[in-house]
């Protein structure tokens, strides 16, 4: 089994590295004054114990990027205080708050912007912008896999690009990628190049 490592981004934000055995996404830990905020909870069995070490008596509030097991597998039994997620993820968790409009939360030195993000990868993705500097995106920028093909829905991709263009953060964080952090400009060019490959009259872009 792969080992979980903790990487520090600054004095407020750390993350637990992703693993492949078992498949588990990055788990971001953001230290507010009132709560420890998590973006995803992963699927590695060691993660709940790591989170407990960072809790320091605070509530634990979770933002889930989407419903895939490698992002939400640890949720049952974790005893979290609040969960924010899209409506499709809520069907899997049956708890917490469904994110429909932008949510802004100030917790000590931490400013959180929780918002829905159109995605070809999974329905109902939710992203998190922190202090207008970091934007955590989960798997929302990836393609869907269908019959052995990697596909983007052209209309959804255009909507996704439009949302991301308005995000102030310049550091985009994509789950499962090394390095975790990518410059916004590079990501926007990458998505734009994919969108430019669309064929008139066709719903999907194959990559």
105-144: pLDDT as tens digits: 999 999 999 999 999 999 999 999 999 999 999 999 999 9
3-state secondary structure the chain: CCCCCEEECCCCEEEECCEECCEECCEEEEECCCEEEEECCCCCCCHHHHHHHHHCCCEEEEECCCCCHHHHCCCCCCCCCEEEECHHHHHHHCCCEECCCCEEEEECCEEEEEEEECCCCCCCEEEEEECCCEEECCCCCCCEEECCEEEEEHHHHHHHHHHHHCCCCCEEECCCCCCCEEEHHHHHHHHHHHHCCCCCCCCEEEC
Q: Over the stretch 11-58, which tens digit does the pLDDT of each residue have?
A: 999 999 999 999 999 999 999 999 999 999 999 999 999 999 999 999
Percent of the chain, pLDDT > 90?
98
pLDDT band at 75 (very low <50, low <70, confident <90, very high): very high
pLDDT at 31: 98
26 burial (CB, 10 Å; 0-12 / 13-18 / 19+) is: buried
The burial class, CB within 10 Å (0-12 / 13-18 / 19+), for 151 is middle
pLDDT greater than 90 at residue 195: yes
178-182 LR contacts (CB < 8 Å, sep 24+): 180/7, 180/15, 180/26, 181/9, 181/134
Asked if the model's pLDDT at residue 92 lies above 90, the reply is yes
Instruction: Report the DSSP pairing between strands 149-153 and 110-117.
Output: unpaired
pLDDT mean across residues, the chain: 97
pLDDT(185) > 90: yes
User: Quick one: average pLDDT of 185-200?
Assistant: 98
- Res 187: pLDDT: 98
Write down the domain spans for the chain. Answer: 5-206
pLDDT (0 to 100) of residue 82: 98
77 pLDDT band, cuts 50/70/90, is confident
State in words which class domain 5-206 has: alpha beta
């Amino acid at each position: 089994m792969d080992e979980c490592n903790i990487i520090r981004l600054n004095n407020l934000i750390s993350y637990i590295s992703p693993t492949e055995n078992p498949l588990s996404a990055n788990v971001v830990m953001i230290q507010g004054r009132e709560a420890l905020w998590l973006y995803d909870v992963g699927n590695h069995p060691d993660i709940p114990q790591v989170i407990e070490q960072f809790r320091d008596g605070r509530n634990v509030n979770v933002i889930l990027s989407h419903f895939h097991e490698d992002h939400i597998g640890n949720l049952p039994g974790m005893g979290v205080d609040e969960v924010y997620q899209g409506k499709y993820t809520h069907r899997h968790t049956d708890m917490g708050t469904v994110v429909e409009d932008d949510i802004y939360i100030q917790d000590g030195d931490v400013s959180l912007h929780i918002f829905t993000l159109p995605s070809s990868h999974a329905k109902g993705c939710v992203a998190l912008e922190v202090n207008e500097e970091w934007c955590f995106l989960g798997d929302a920028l990836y393609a869907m896999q269908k019959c052995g093909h990697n596909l983007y829905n052209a209309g959804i991709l255009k909507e996704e690009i439009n949302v991301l263009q308005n995000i102030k953060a310049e550091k985009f964080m994509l789950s499962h990628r090394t390095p975790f952090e990518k410059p916004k400009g590079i990501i926007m060019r990458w998505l734009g190049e994919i969108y430019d490959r669309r064929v008139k009259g066709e719903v999907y872009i194959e990559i």
